Homo-oligomer: A and B are copies of this chain.
Amino acid sequence: MQRLNDVHQLQASAGLLGWDQQVLMPAANAHARGAQLAVLSRLAHEILTSDETARLFEDAERELNDADYDSKEASMIRVAKKDYDKAVRLPSEFVAELARQTAVSHEVWAQARANNDFRAFQPTLERMVELKQQQAGYLGYSQHPYDALLGQYERDMTAAQVKAIFDEHKPPLVSLIAAVKERSDRVSDAVLHQPYDIDRQRQFALDVVAGYGFDFTRGRQDVAVHPFCSGFSRSDVRITTRFYEDFLNPSLFGMMHEAGHGMYEQGVSTEIDGTLLGSGTSLSVHESQSRMWENIVGRSRGFWNWAFPQLKALFPEQLANSDVERFYRAVNIVKPSFIRVEADEATYNLHIMLRFELEMDMVAGKVKVADLPEEWNDRFEAYLGIEPPSDALGVLQDVHWSSGLMGYFPTYALGNLLAAQYYRKAIEERPNIPDDIASGRFDTLLTWLNEKIHVHGRKFTTDELTRRITGEGIQSRYYMEYLEKKYGEIYGL
């Protein structure tokens, strides 16, 4: 336990150094910060993968043979052993080479995107795909090399499982978007694109997420170019936000989103706080929390019945010609667009499926990096009905591949599905939730999420947790039902 504590505290400290780098640190210090982070990471890796740790794992597994699966001790060893198994399989020269290549690759990608020049990025990306194939080989898999990469973010989940979910999800989603497109004139979001004073944006968004239940005595909010949430313990959870002077969404829905992540971290049981179990269980479950508070709650009619008068009091001029209904429609506009991070709830998952398919094929060697722009654009048009006018707005848009994050994208879409699946169960068990939201009471929902999800931290896998809560694995149909009902009504389908 002490060794695992050392690993965890080194990682938590590295987390804070990373937060500081994005939020406060003088840019000139990047090199020195890199040296600090390298030492923390290496020591954490050395302690986790040492022979002594291996021996202690063996002892612990023997001792805990009859321990309750849910207990802190059994969960700790079970989860840590999986971290260990992954870490120990990667040779340290490979880890160093991957880190080096990632640093280089990121710079090359940023330049290539700025110049809209995919060919400048191509050799670097080819090398990264090779490294990812090697990594999959080291980590091991039974069916597809992508399983190994996905497994870094979703313990025990396979590419085949994700593919089955997406294969069921895609056809109705494509149909829905096509149907909405026919009636796009029914909704305008012009009201959101006006000058909005940033101090007031901040105040409103802070009030909303404090109302949601984000605890500012155990967290903070700061400004960052790329918003994110970091937790270093349940009493130190930090969200970041970016503000636009003439667009309300990034601060408002961005703050809701990050607060959703944050409330998960703040809700971990005190019993496992400060241990490697004291965080969200997986990226997809984490994303289910952020998307639920951003979209299912924050873009609901009930929420805006309560919130719109307050927003209007802050921005009387901007909202003079709007009302709850028009504002509700504005924040729920569906509009196929090129950039994933700006996508609405309906089109978002198609952006992900496209990436998932291309990642699978690249790792399997079925799609060559050289052919990627064409593959991207063809599929984009097939799914979303529009073709990217440039690679900068297409295949070059995301940071992930240059950072070696392959296998990561699916978790975003799974998060959307899980948000709907969990929320459906929540209102089944607490039917008052929608009415409570409409009167600005969010604790009914938060308490349920706390009890069912947050307290467990990393104890269970996504599948274990989802089956415990809903009685079945991840489903796409609840999200489709949610989308069809909402947009059916807004767009009169």
Contacts and interface: CB of A to CB of B under 8 A. Distances in A.
Contacts of A24: 220
Nearest to A222: B24
Contacts of A164: none
Given A9-B35, A32-B274, 7 more contacts: A5-B35, A9-B36, A13-B13, A26-B217, A26-B220, A26-B236, A33-B236
A120 interface: no
A273 interface: yes
A218 interface: yes
A10, A12, A217, A236, most chain B CB atoms within 10 A: A236
A282 interface: no
B273 A28 contact: no
A6 interface: yes
A20 B16 contact: yes
Nearest to A15: B36
A379 B28 CA distance: 50
A75 interface: no
A40 interface: yes
Given A29-B235, A218-B28, A13 B6 contact: no
Contacts of A232: 29, 32, 36
Interface of A: 5-6, 9-10, 12-14, 16-17, 20, 24-29, 31-33, 35-36, 38-40, 43, 216-220, 232-236, 273-274
Contacts of A39: 5-6, 9-10, 13
Contacts of A28: 217-218, 235
16 contacts: A9-B35, A9-B38, A9-B39, A13-B14, A13-B40, A16-B17, A26-B217, A26-B218, A26-B219, A29-B232, A29-B233, A32-B232, A32-B233, A32-B273, A35-B274, A36-B232
Contacts of A216: 26
A476 B17 CA distance: 43
Nearest to A216: B26
The 8 tightest CB contacts between A and B, nearest first, are: A32-B233, A9-B39, A29-B236, A29-B235, A28-B235, A9-B36, A28-B218, A13-B36
Contacts of A26: 216-220, 235-236
Contacts of A235: 26, 28-29, 31-32
A27 B233 CA distance: 13
Nearest to A9: B39
A220 B5 CA distance: 32
B236 A40 contact: no
A6 B41 CA distance: 11
Nearest to A33: B236
A226 to B, nearest CB: 19
Contacts of A12: 36
A40 B69 CA distance: 32
A490 to B, nearest CB: 40
A277 to B, nearest CB: 14
B220 A6 contact: no
A220 B26 CA distance: 7
Nearest to A39: B9
Contact of A9 (B20, B31, B40): B40
Contacts of A234: 32
Contacts of A17: 13, 16
Contacts of A233: 29, 32-33
A203 B481 CA distance: 56
A24 B16 CA distance: 12
